[in-house]
């Protein structure tokens, strides 16, 4: 059975100054992978490559054995959902939650004619992300955390096999972050979804993910659950000033802190 996501020797940008180079990983169905790295490491670029908004300069990306290329992109995107950083939405557009979530429906033209079925689906995904019954609420007046849940619900309405998230916890407080990670973990375990999530804080995600890729232009280290990320990897990614604090639980890596920090 082919891997749910297979990235092989992917590079992006000119050879003399690549933004990404030699990126390789393969994820089975139900795998939850975190990607961490400093600003400018190419994390968002990798996400753009995965959704086919950018084409890799080198290498290949496959979803369930199907190559992400112009011929197959549309079909693949029917099975993928993407949640990006909280920005870019029209801030003053009068719109209710139900309409935002409905935008995720794969058949954006015909959903109107199957409103009752789609509405039931919308109710289901809103409940799944923990904001049941808010279909008629004005999206403009939701908090950052509630908006992010709505965006996740919009992604789930697509019933994706693969869920791609680019810093989904940017607007969330710590308990809300943990709720989000628990939900994503449950989606992997219960529904077999494959999740790839870009985050900054490895300590926050380490208890939930199956593996973490440490990215800075290339993948410096791909740590599995319970594996310690070597100090050298942190220093390669963030610089020599990093020091490492070990956790006492089932963790993948360590929280990077500036030396001298309390």
Return residues touching other proteins (CB under 8 A): 51, 53, 73-74, 77-78, 80-84, 88-90, 92-96, 99-100, 102-104, 106, 108-109, 111-112, 138, 140-141, 151, 154, 158, 164
Residue 31: alpha-carbon gap to chain centroid? 12
For other proteins, the closer CB: 85 or 228:
85
Least CB distance from residue 148 to other proteins, whole Å? 12
Report DSSP letters for 50-83, one per residue: HTTSS--SEEEEEETTEE-STTTHHHHHTTEEEE
CB burial readout 30-41, b (16+ within 10 A) else e: bbbbbbbbeeeb
The helix (H) or strand (E) run that includes residue 200 is none
Least CB distance from residue 106 to other proteins, whole Å? 8
For other proteins, the closer CB: 73 or 200:
73
Rounded-to-integer distance, Cα 176 and Cα 131, Å: 12
Least CB distance from residue 48 to other proteins, whole Å? 9
For other proteins, the closer CB: 115 or 241:
115
For other proteins, the closer CB: 28 or 107:
107
Least CB distance from residue 38 to other proteins, whole Å? 22
For other proteins, the closer CB: 103 or 231:
103
Q: How many CB atoms lie within 10 A of CB 175?
A: 9
* β 162-166/194-198 pair status: parallel
Rounded-to-integer distance, Cα 262 and Cα 258, Å: 9
Least CB distance from residue 44 to other proteins, whole Å? 10
């Amino acid at each position: 059975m082919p891997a749910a996501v297979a990235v092989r020797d992917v590079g992006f940008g000119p050879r003399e100054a690549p933004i990404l180079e030699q990126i390789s990983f393969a994820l089975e169905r139900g795998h939850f992978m975190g990607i961490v790295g400093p600003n400018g490491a190419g994390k968002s670029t990798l996400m753009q490559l995965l959704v086919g908004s950018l084409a890799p300069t080198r290498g290949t990306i496959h979803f369930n054995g199907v190559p992400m290329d112009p011929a197959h992109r549309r079909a693949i995107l029917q099975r993928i959902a993407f949640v990006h950083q909280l920005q870019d939405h029209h801030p003053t557009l009068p719109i209710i939650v139900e309409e935002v979530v409905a935008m995720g429906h794969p058949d954006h033209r015909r959903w109107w004619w199957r409103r009752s079925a789609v509405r039931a689906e919308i109710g289901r995904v809103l409940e799944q992300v923990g904001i049941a019954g808010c279909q008629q609420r004005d999206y403009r007046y939701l908090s950052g955390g509630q908006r992010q849940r709505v965006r996740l619900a919009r992604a789930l309405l697509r019933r994706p096999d693969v869920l791609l998230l680019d810093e989904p916890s940017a607007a969330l407080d710590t308990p809300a972050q943990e709720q989000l990670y628990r939900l994503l973990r449950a989606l992997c375990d219960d529904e077999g979804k494959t999740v790839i999530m870009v985050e900054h804080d490895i300590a926050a995600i380490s208890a939930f993910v199956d593996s973490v890729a440490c990215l800075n232009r290339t993948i410096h280290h791909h740590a599995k659950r319970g594996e310690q990320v070597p100090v050298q990897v942190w220093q390669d990614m963030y610089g020599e000033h990093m020091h490492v604090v070990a956790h006492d639980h089932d963790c993948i890596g360590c929280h990077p802190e500036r030396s001298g920090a309390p």
